[in-house]
Structure 1
Amino acid sequence: MAKVVAINISTRKGEKKVPVEKAVFLENFGIEGDAHGGDWHRQVSLLAQESADKIRQAGLPHIKEGDFAENITTEGISLNQLPIGTKLKIGETLQEVTQIGKECHQHCAIYHQVGDCVMPKEGIFTKVIKGGIVYPGDTIEVVED
């Protein structure tokens, strides 16, 4: 079963995100208090724990949730295999996948240390369709139309 491992936010863009005990997701905005919230297609970023584990095994065992600037760290779901338009029920929320991966304009510190970064290839972005509260441990379900 897929689940939320951690929820991470930052108050300013370009900063590492820090884990929080819960987050309020606002419809057509993203996470309340997160710098990346707004009326656009990349309101929430998700990265699988399994993706981060690749970087840990490549020589950075100290990597923790939020270090890739992901809002939601997941477990048990192949995020980058989900087609754009897929709807996900995460906690009380309903989110829609809007983008797989992203262009990495400036290589992050992780890239420079390991020679690779998983967020540009394996991270995904969603838009909040229905708001609500999400906690670490909440389940993630693909919603069939």
Structure 2
Amino acid sequence: MWQGRLLNIHTAPKARAPMVEQITATLIAGVGIEGDRYAQGIDTGTYSDQPDVREVTLIEVETLEALARDHDIALSPQEHRRNLTTRDVPLNHLVGRQFHLGEVLLEGGRLNTPCRYIDMITKKTICDLLEHRSGLNCRIIKGGVIRPGDLIRLA
């Protein structure tokens, strides 16, 4: 059985705003991360009006490492536009499954689809390289406070 860790937490107060690193975050069940664009209402995030579960988004640090190793492209955790960066968590296998992040309980929604917006804001050609590795959109079932270093495991 796998066990992963949370590495980074990032939020943005509105669409197109820079991502800000957080040392803790409060996840609110059925809402999102306190202070993040998707928790603030349907008009503040680029994809907020599309039907989806996007209370919190995750991406694997292994994806960032593969971009650097295989394509010589450095993409930092604040650039990828996902809220949480993980290590040793098989996100593609968590669609429809519940898992713990510290004291929080999440449920995997759909895999995130990369779009050209990421190329525009980073000035890097990465959209196509992120196909099937662009992260996971999740629902917050049980909220709580999270911190980098928290364990991630199946429920």
Which residue of 88, 94, 103 corresponds with 2:105? 94
Q: Is the 8 A contact 2:109 2:139 kept in 1?
A: yes
- TM-score, normalised to structure 1, is 0.85
- RMSD, aligned CA: 2.1
Q: Secondary structure at the match of 2:63?
A: helix
What one-letter code is carried by the residue in structure 1 that aligns with 2:107? E
- CA deviation profile, 1:78-136 (whole Å, cap 9, x unmatched): 11122x22001101111111111225264524574356342x52210101111100000
Q: Secondary structure at the match of 1:42?
A: coil
The number of aligned residues is 140
> 1:22: how far off?
0.4
Q: Is the 8 A contact 1:111 1:117 kept in 2?
A: no
- TM-score, normalised to structure 2, is 0.80
> 1:56: how far off?
2.0
Any residues of structure 2 matched to 1:3-82 within 5 Å, and which? 3-37=5-39, 41-57=53-69, 58-61=71-74, 63-82=75-94
Change (3 A) 1:114 1:106: closer
> Quick check: 41-50 or 96-105, which moved more?
96-105
Change (3 A) 1:29 1:114: closer
> 1:66: how far off?
2.3
In structure 2, runs of 5+ residues without a counterpart are 43-51
> Identity across aligned pairs (percent)?
25
What one-letter code is carried by the residue in structure 2 that aligns with 1:55? L
> Quick check: 99-108 or 50-59, which moved more?
99-108
In structure 1, runs of 5+ residues without a counterpart are none
- CA deviation profile, 1:1-22 (whole Å, cap 9, x unmatched): 3000011111111234221100
Change (3 A) 1:54 1:132: same
